[in-house]
Amino acid sequence: MMMMNNPTMLSYIRREQSVLNRLLSAYPDSTGAALSNGSKDPKHWLIVTTASSLNAAKSAQGYMEKMAQVQVDVVEASHYANFSFVNTNIDTVIAISLSGEDPDTLQALAKIKATTTVHAIAMTAQKDSTLAQQADTVFDLLTGKETIPYITLSYNAIILSLMFLGLRSGADRELLPELAANQELDEFGFMIEHINETIQRSNDFYRKFTIDFGLAQEYTTIGPSVLNGTLAEMATKFTEIVRVPTHGYSLAEFSHGAYLGAHETHRQFYLELDTNPAVNAKMQAVKTYESRLTPHIYTISFTGEKPTVNDEQTLELYQIDDPLKAPLLAIIPFQVLAWFIAKAKGINLSHPIFDNFHDSI
């Protein structure tokens, strides 16, 4: 594991391509080991975790369900530990904690194991942690300890690792031919090879609109529901790092009420994928309407198509044909923008604020 002197959030963003390539290379062994001795005919998986890891799990959920043909529930660990009913029909639980020491995740896993014989997978960056010891098998994220508090590299490592578990489970049960499974891995490889390009284009996009982004008092991102995890993580990252009110809404959520909060200084980002034509048409209609209220309309496109309106406020990125894989790249522009906006605002991310918060509660 490469060590960095005084790493920053940007340092970890720039390591995403290399570490995700390592995860891809490790796929045969890591996924096989994690699923070993588990159910041979799984029907219902549960993921318990917290914070950004929860957003990552939501990002991978759809792909996992499609590939493994199982129901995947994603539940916040504290809620599960304190309020949820333990469903004894669950055959696999994936508990995620980067440190392997998150008390809520440990409590949730203990609650499950006390009443079931479910196969428990620990997904962590610390193979010798308490979580790893309590689980049946371990999936190593290969990220090491991310020494800054605002995870970026680890976020995408979780998404890819969860997607790999879904793919491997489906492939092992011959739900898709070997050729199709290998094609999935090839597509992941192509996406990973475009990470550095995505970072650079996002960097250039920031420099083009540095002043406008820096003056913003509120940010909102709107996208198709397949990107719900990305939308939640964008709101999380900008709130933590840029430290102004930030929201992430699915197109349906925005259209059903959140549009009432729009105003003339509102900065809006639209995430565009090649999805259902009706969804795309509605997205364009919403964007057209909102552009009457605010000039601060930005688009991040993975469609491979030129913008309908050439306003030069569209960030054109690698074309993604499978919307379920899109979360792997879709969060990167927001990671990059959050870092540069915070830096321009003079926010020192290495200096903790409210550092007595957890002691106080």
Q: Are residues 207 and 339 in the same domain?
A: yes
Q: Are residues 139 and 45 in the same domain?
A: yes
Higher-pLDDT residue of 355, 68: 68
Q: Are residues 68 and 149 in the same domain?
A: yes
Q: Are residues 147 and 286 in the same domain?
A: no
The two structure tokens encoding residue 152: 């970026």
Among the candidates 172, 193, 214, a domain finishes at 193
List of long-range contacts for 309-316, beta carbons under 8 Å, 24+ apart:
313/209, 315/201, 315/202, 315/205, 316/201
Give the residue from 171, 138, 140, 141 showing the smallest Cα distance to 64. 171
In this prediction, residue 5 carries a pLDDT of 59
Half-sphere exposure of 232 (CA within 13 A, CB side): 16
Structure confidence at residue 3 as a pLDDT band (50, 70, 90): very low
pLDDT at 2 > cutoff 50: no
Give the residue from 143, 126, 133, 121 showing the smallest Cα distance to 17. 143
Q: Are residues 182 and 319 in the same domain?
A: no
The two structure tokens encoding residue 269: 């980002």
Residue 349 lies in a domain: no
Percent of the chain with pLDDT over 90: 88
Q: Are residues 125 and 214 in the same domain?
A: no
Structure confidence at residue 352 as a pLDDT band (50, 70, 90): confident
Residue 127 lies in a domain: yes
Q: Tell me how crowded residue 335 is: count the other CB atoms within 10 A of its CB.
A: 26
Q: Are residues 16 and 125 in the same domain?
A: yes
Q: Are residues 284 and 327 in the same domain?
A: yes
Among the candidates 147, 178, 193, a domain finishes at 193
Q: Are residues 96 and 171 in the same domain?
A: yes
Which whole number is the average pLDDT over 230-244?
A: 97
Residue 3 lies in a domain: no
Q: Are residues 83 and 230 in the same domain?
A: no
Q: Are residues 163 and 28 in the same domain?
A: yes
In this prediction, residue 327 carries a pLDDT of 98
Q: Are residues 24 and 147 in the same domain?
A: yes
Number of domains in the chain: 2
CATH of the domain at 207: 3.40.50.10490
Residue 353 lies in a domain: no
Q: Which residues of 55-71 are buried (b: 16+ CB within 10 A; e: fewer)?
A: bbbbbbbbbbebbbebe
Host domain of residue 100:
9-193
In this prediction, residue 351 carries a pLDDT of 77
Among the candidates 138, 167, 193, a domain finishes at 193
